[in-house]
Every structure is written in structure tokens, then in C-alpha cells.
Structure 1
Amino acid sequence: MNRTLPLILAVALFMEQMDSTVIATSLPAIAADIGTSPVTLKLALTSYLVSLAIFIPISGFMADRFGAKKVFRIAIAVFVLGSIACAFSNSLAAFVLSRFLQGMGGAMMTPVGRLVLVRAVPREQLVKAMAWLTVPALIGPIAGPPLGGFVTTYFSWHWIFLINVPIGLLGILLSGYVLPDFAREETGPLDLSGFLLCSIGASGLVFGLSVISLPALPPIVGVATVVLGVLATAFYIRHALRTPAPILNLRLFANRAFRSAILGGALFRIGVGAVPFLLPLMFQVVFGLTPFQSGLLTFASAFGAIAMKFIATTALRLGGFRVVLVAASVLGGASIAVNALFTPTTPHWIIIVVLIGSGLLRSLFFTSANALVFAELGDREASQASTISAAAQQVSIALGVAVGGGILEMSAFITGTELGMDAFVSAFLIVAALSALAAIPFLSLPPEAGSRVSGHIKRRNTVDAPAPAGE
């Protein structure tokens, strides 16, 4: 396998994932500079996520119609333009619109980048290649807050976005040389009705959940938008099952491996998506750490994610998708529950060890689940699979943050006190249980599920083969 290809894709995806959280610790500085409040500026966080939700559904169609390589390079260019616009924004409206433009590029980068990898790499090497994309997806959101705080403190918040320019331009140049030119797939006309319904559904859910968890607007706005998103999603399901070529082909869920990967991945992400919100908040509110100190602690999980890259292939070859994903779900959920045992007196080295182990388990789960999405599908179905996977990812992560924030708000309302350790204990235990429930969809998988990708059955058959006569 040419490692240059997944490395280029990984750098682009890291840039996109990091920008989803990098402004979190820089909001006060940006707000003061453009003349607004930090709470109101949280709309910029939401606008980025909403843009992803709107344009991810059309990414597969664009890649098939115009070529995955071309769309990926244009997506990086749009992302870079959005970054420049963010750096030069001088008002709330300009900044929110610039973040929306960034999201348009990011929406194409993740699913199309994954599609390029699936089509370029033999199925036997997919797990090893997918690990290169899983690591930046996990490290990016964790690295964003401490990196944003560091750059804002010692330089200027503008450099949070300007640093994307040379990285993006290099990515466009290298991808032009390294990424293969895939033949364009035959596509019919754009399913415009499906695109509108799907975009309203996904963006309604993401926007509504973001407003509920980040109250920059009245909570009733978030609730109403979630209801709109649910209704639009229901209408889209009805539309997709009656349309020959829908924008998102829900008939792929008839494939058991694909269905398990999407449903199990969504459940796991709900729990895992709450952790980057809950853990830094607990470190700051209860433990009294600074944002930079809490960011450095949570970054420890990145080392576990990197270490996983060296064991995922062997683990799947020995255990297969079913065993590995069930074990990673249960143990990953347990590692989240351990966070509930932390106290202000817990030595930092113990917290770091736990977070490294947690990062390894999460990375093992996502590498395996992302590979299983494509394990039993052909190249013609890969664009749809990548798009559905990316859309499910955005909605489930937003739901995770909303669940974590909702538990804290409910705990404070019931007890009538400020946020304390008890609220965080409850939140961690609940989201840990949600992550562990991800094991259920994988229990129905046969042992040979995705064996062409994992190599599990091939190895078992080799071990079980009878010895030649005379030995």
C-alpha cells in the first residue's frame, strides 16, 4: 500500500476535524475583537456543524458525477477560502457565514476522502489504510481546544485559520500527483426533493441539538428545530423507499454488515461524543484547572489513538469484526465510566493512563467499524455508503453533546445547586451505558462477516486444516 495516499487524506481530515472545535477556547478573544459576546458567537460553532449536515448528503453524488479526486481537491480549496474569510471577519454575520463556507468544504472532504481510500486500496489492506483516517478523526477534535487556546494566547486568534492556508495548498498540490484518477460513475439526475428533505432533516437535528447543548438561542428554538428535523427525516425515508435513485440509498441497510456498522457506530458515538464536552468541563468547573491544563490532560487520549494503528490489523485478523467490535464497545463504555471515579485529588498520571487506554479502545472501535461499512459492498455502492456513514456520524456526535449537556442541566435543576461532582458522575455513567449498547448490533454478525477485509476466516481455515497424511 502506498502510504502517501492515506497520509495526504489524513492531514486534510485532521484539518477539517480540528476546525470543528478549535475556536471553543478562543471565543472570548474573537468576540471582543468583532464586537459581540462569547455566548452569541457560539452560533459560529453551530453554523459549521449545520453546513456539514446540509452538504454531506450530496457529497457522494458529486464524487460520482464529477470524479472523487476533483471534488476532493475543490473541497480543500473551499475550506481554505473559508479559513481566510474567517481570519478577516470583522462582524458576527461575516464570521458565521465564513464558518458556514468552511463547513461546505469540510462536508465534501471527509466522505469523499474516505471514498478515495476505499476505491484506491485493495480490500485486504483496507483496515490498515482506514487506521490512517481514524487517528486524525479522533485527535482533531481533542487537539482543537488546547491548540486554539495556545495560538490565541501567544499569537492571535487569526492564526487559527491562517495556518490552514499553507496546509490546504500543499494538500491540493500533493493530491493532484498522488490520488488516482477514477472513472466517473454513471449517475442519473440529482434527487433534488430527496436532497432538500435530507438536508433539512440532518441540519434540523444538528442545529436543534447544538442549540439545546450550547444555549446561544432560547431552548424552545432548539426543540422546535429538532422536531422539524425528525419530521423531514421521516418524510425522506418514505421518499427514499419509493425513488429509484435517492440521494441517500437506504436500501444499503439490507446488508447486515453495513447496517450493524452504521447503527453500532451511531450508538457508540453518542456516548463518545459527549466525552470531549464533559471531561474538560469537569476539569475546569470541579477540579479548578485552566482551559489549557484541561486541554493537555484530555489530549492524552491521542496517544492511545496513535498506538491503536499498530494493533488494529492484528486484532481483526485474530478475532474478526464481531469479536473485536463487541469487545471494543463494552470495554470502551467501561473506560468512559471510569471517568466518573476521578476526583480533584486523583493524580494526573492516573488520569493520563486511563485516557490513553480509552483513546486506544475508541480508535480500535472506529477503525474496525469504518472498515466494516465497506467490507461487503462493491465500489459502485461505496459513495453512498461513505455519505450515509458521514451523515450518521454528524447527527450522533451532536446528539452525544446534547445528551451530556442535558444530563448536567437536569441534575442542576433537580438538586437546585450549581454543577458539582455528582452531576458529572451521573452523566459519565449514562453515556458509558449508551456506548456499551453499541455491542448489540454486532452480536448478530456471523463470524465470517467482512472476512475478506479482516482476514479472520482465512487464518482460521489455515489453522484448522488437517495435516497431510504421514505427518
Structure 2
Amino acid sequence: MEEMIDTKRRHTALLVAGCFFMENLDGTIVSTAAPRMGDALGVAPAAIGLVVTAYLVTLAVLIPLSGWLTARFGARRVFLTAIAVFTLASLACALSTGLGMLVAMRVLQGAGGAMMVPVGRLVVVSGAEKTDMPRLISYVVWPALAAPVIAPLAGGLLTTYADWRWMFLVNLPLGAVAFAVAHRLIDAPSHTAAPPPRLDRWGVALVSTGLGALTWTAHLLSEAGADRAEVLLAGGAAVLLTAAAARHLLRTDQPLIDLRMLKVTTFRASVSGGSLFWVVVAAVPFLLPLLFQEAFGWSAIRSGAAVLFVFVGNIAIKPAANRLLDRFGFRPLLIAAALGVAVTTALCGFLTAATPVAVVLVLAVVAGAARSLGLTCYQVIAFADVPQERMRHANTLQSTAQQAAAGLGVAAATLALRAGGPLGAWLPGPATPATPYGVAFCLLALLSLGALAGALRLHPTAGDAVRSAPAAGGPGVPAPARARIRGRV
């Protein structure tokens, strides 16, 4: 029963959920306001892309540091500082008078966001009962799903009826409330805590530059006029730096990110399959508003309202998600979620301007339900077989992989859309403005099948340690199966 979860821990999970919402909303809402922001700052709308990229690059670069900072300074101090930095940087963004100042403040805002959510989630899962994790993590997950689908409507409303600065000013009351609640809820670290590990400086240098290069490559790929040589140079640097980082992290005794966590089968499934799932989940809300506005001729507000029904699906499945998990386990639900995302994404490619709005809304609701179910399961199974003393390492690696995948979502959508033009020319019948989008959605649907393949390989009892109901055939997981699932850490 949900009432059995410690009240303080549940309130902490809701607090982190609110912080997660702020972080994700700020990563997506700016794109909607690019024309208005460009006019106000005296730059081309394309230059506003740097405002988005600066934020995402900072998140990718600094999230790996969150685990070490927590061990060094304590979760309470880091979390409160992160909320304060994020909120004050939001105010500075709203007060910016030029593009340079705005980009600099977005970097500062990203620094706060990079510490805020990973540290908050670590507070939630550390010390929690395994069977409480599905409910606790479900509180934290849904804002990550809500923000990308709310952003188009929120951005459209703010830029149409108000000013782009309100996109940042809305964080001020939210941040103030979050700081006050966190100050009361989160306890100071115990004086008997183990001494912090030494900082892996080579790990910081290699991981941060590698992730930064990867995110910058994704930004270049999403730009229409990107120089091919620059893309190849950034992409090559990302591959080389990431490979060097992986080699270093596996050879050092106290790595910044412990890649040995991937020996835990359920955790590895969450990082690999979950990353593919995240890419598609992040790409679809980016493509849908473009389809509605550029191909169907809808207004920004109308298209944003339609995409909002994806969030309706997120919320609709939430009350049943934990019961379904207890009843069926992770493997069937992940298979169903991957199939649901693949089918609904492909069906989006067959929408036309003549499609009844009711059909569009139903498709959005079903897609939202599949997204919510899949991401909740991936987030929960990540910690199912991780010992409490390794939770900090698992949380850091999982947060880093999640941010990298989310950052690649827009790049994947852009590449699929560009490929849609040439590939659409091979299709029978005359091409329409919606043809490239149709091909793009089908390509993303094929990508989501990678997550389906990973789900099919899971053991039937994978993740049963966090289920409230025992696995069929007896209480708990048999020892041989448990050994296969957990692997060795």
C-alpha cells in the first residue's frame, strides 16, 4: 500500500519531481520562443539555438560530478545550493540584455540543474525499501515526461500573450518554495559518514569533455547549415574522448563514474534499453508540433494543446503502473511499452491534415501511456538489484546516460526529418509537406525496436526484488536466477 511509504520520503520524492520538472521544462521551452527572443535580443532566431545548447552541454558535463560532490559535501548542502543557483540564474536569464549574457546565465542555470535532480533522486532512493522504489521513483519520473509536452503550449502562450522573459521568471516562486521545503525535509549528513573518495581528476576531464563534445555534435546535427567538417571533428572528438574515458574509468580504483555497475544485469538493461527509449521519447514531442504547424498549418497554441494530450496519457496510466508492475513484472511491461511506443510513433507518420482531431488526441493519449509506463519501469529496474552501498555510483551513471540520451533526442529527430525528404521521394504517390515527417516517425519507430530487443532478453524474474507481489512459483527469486540477474559488482 502507498500509505506504508514513509511520509517524509514521499514528500521528498515529490519535491525532487518539482525540481525535475523545472530542469526539463527549461531545456525545451526556449525553442518555441526562438523568433521572439531573437527579435528582442537583436539576433537571428537560429542563434537562439546556442541558448538551448549551452544549457544542455552544461548538464551533460557536470552531472557526472554530482555523485562525488554529494560524498564530499553532503546531499543536503549540494541540493540546497543547486536549487539556489538554478533559481538565481533563472532571474539573471530573465534580466539578460544580450545574447552573450543570456548564454552565460544559461550555463550557470545548467550547473544548478546538473546537481539538483541527480542529488535529489539519490536522497529519495538511498535507504529506501526495495518494494517502495516503484512508487517513489514514479513520483520523480512523470515530470520528465510532462515537461517536453507542456513546453510547446506553455511557450506558445507566453510568447503570444506575454514576454519571453516569463519563461525564466516562473522559476522564481517554484525555486523559492523548493528551497524552503528542501531545507525542512532533507537532513544534514551524519558525522559518522565515511570519508569522501579522492576526486578522479582524469575522469572529470575525460568524461566532461567527452559528453560535452557529444552534446555539441548533437547540436550541430540539429542545425540546418552545419559545416560537415565541424560535425566530423566534434563527433570524432566525442568518440575518442568517450573511449578514453571508459578505458580510464575501468582501470582506476576510485573512478568518477563506476562502469562496473554495468555488470548488474538489470542495471545494464536500464542504461542500454532505457537510453534508446529516451531518445525516441525526447524526439517525438519535438517533431509533433513541427508536423502540426508546418505541414498542417495549425497555430502554435493549437498544436501545443494537441501535444498536451501526451501528458494526459502519462497521468492516466500512472495510478495503474505500480499495480501492473506488481502483477506482471518488468519484462512484460517493458515489452508492451516498447511495442506501444513503436506502434504509436509509426502511426504518427500516417497522420494528415484531414485526420479527425479526435483520432490525433487518442493517439497522443496512448503514446503518452506507453512512454510513462516504459520510463517508470526503466527507472525502477535500474536500482532493483543494486546494493545500498553502491547506490551513489548507480545513480550517477544512470543520470549521466539519461541526460546524454535526452540530449540526443532532438538530433535524432532532426536527422530523421532530413532523411525523410530523399527517402519520401521513393514512396508511391505525390509528396506532400507531411511526407518527410511520415518517414521520420517511421525511422524513430524502428529505433525504438532496439529497446524492444533488450526487453525480450530480460529474465522473466528480472527486477522482482522491488515488486510487492512475489514472483509466480514461490516467494522471492530463486538463488540461481538471482545470481544471473545481479551479476557481480
Same fold (TM > 0.5): yes
Write the deviation string for residues 384-440 of structure 1: whole angstroms up to 9, x where unpaired: 211211211222223232222112223335678997222111111111121122022
Give the whole-Å Cα distance in 2 for the aligned partners of 1:336 and 1:163.
Answer: 32
246, 263, 273: which one aligns with 2:255? 246
Number of paired residues? 463
Tell me if structure 1 keeps the 8 A contact 2:60–2:403: yes
Q: Which moved more, 1:270-279 or 1:56-65?
A: 270-279
Superposition TM-score, scaled by structure 2 size: 0.90
Give the whole-Å Cα distance in 2 for the aligned partners of 1:325 and 1:258.
Answer: 14
Q: Which moved more, 1:256-265 or 1:448-457?
A: 448-457
RMSD value, Cα: 1.9
| 1:425 counterpart letter in structure 2 | G
Q: Secondary structure at the match of 1:309?
A: helix
The residue number in structure 1 matching 2:280 is 271
The reply to whether residue 33 of structure 1 matches residue 40 of structure 2 is yes
Give the whole-Å Cα distance in 1 for the aligned partners of 2:468 and 2:101.
Answer: 51
Tell me if structure 2 keeps the 8 A contact 1:210–1:222: no
Q: Percent identity?
A: 35
Q: Secondary structure at the match of 2:137?
A: helix
| 2:359 counterpart letter in structure 1 | I
| 2:81 counterpart letter in structure 1 | I
Tell me if structure 2 keeps the 8 A contact 1:212–1:219: no
Give the whole-Å Cα distance in 2 for the aligned partners of 1:453 and 1:274.
Answer: 30
Give the whole-Å Cα distance in 1 for the aligned partners of 2:185 and 2:119.
Answer: 15
The reply to whether residue 443 of structure 1 matches residue 468 of structure 2 is no
Instruction: Pick closer, same or farther for the CA change 1:356–1:403 going to 2, 3 Å.
Output: same
Tell me if structure 1 keeps the 8 A contact 2:423–2:439: no
Superposition TM-score, scaled by structure 1 size: 0.94
What is the correspondence of 1:149-298 to structure 2 with a 5 Å cutoff?
A: 149-183=156-190, 184-215=193-224, 217-298=226-307
Give the whole-Å Cα distance in 1 for the aligned partners of 2:214 and 2:80.
Answer: 29
| 2:411 counterpart letter in structure 1 | A
Runs of 4 or more consecutive aligned structure 1 residues displaced over 4 Å after TM superposition: 413-419
121, 135, 142: which one aligns with 1:128? 135
Give the whole-Å Cα distance in 2 for the aligned partners of 1:389 and 1:332.
Answer: 21
Tell me if structure 2 keeps the 8 A contact 1:257–1:372: yes
1:138 offset after TM fit, Å? 0.4
The reply to whether residue 53 of structure 1 matches residue 55 of structure 2 is no
The residue number in structure 1 matching 2:466 is 453
The reply to whether residue 390 of structure 1 matches residue 399 of structure 2 is yes
Q: Which moved more, 1:208-217 or 1:331-340?
A: 208-217
Give the whole-Å Cα distance in 2 for the aligned partners of 1:221 and 1:181.
Answer: 47
1:149 offset after TM fit, Å? 2.1
1:459 offset after TM fit, Å? 6.1
Instruction: Pick closer, same or farther for the CA change 1:140–1:460 going to 2, 3 Å.
Output: farther
Write the deviation string for residues 95-121 of structure 1: whole angstroms up to 9, x where unpaired: 111111111111112211211110153
Write the deviation string for residues 234-253 of structure 1: whole angstroms up to 9, x where unpaired: 00111111100110100001
Tell me if structure 1 keeps the 8 A contact 2:133–2:466: yes
Give the whole-Å Cα distance in 1 for the aligned partners of 2:29 and 2:110.
Answer: 14
Tell me if structure 1 keeps the 8 A contact 2:32–2:155: yes
Q: Which moved more, 1:408-417 or 1:246-255?
A: 408-417
Instruction: Pick closer, same or farther for the CA change 1:314–1:459 going to 2, 3 Å.
Output: farther
Q: Which moved more, 1:328-337 or 1:414-423?
A: 414-423
Write the deviation string for residues 226-273 of structure 1: whole angstroms up to 9, x where unpaired: 211111000011111110011010000111010011101011122222
Give the whole-Å Cα distance in 2 for the aligned partners of 1:130 and 1:190.
Answer: 29
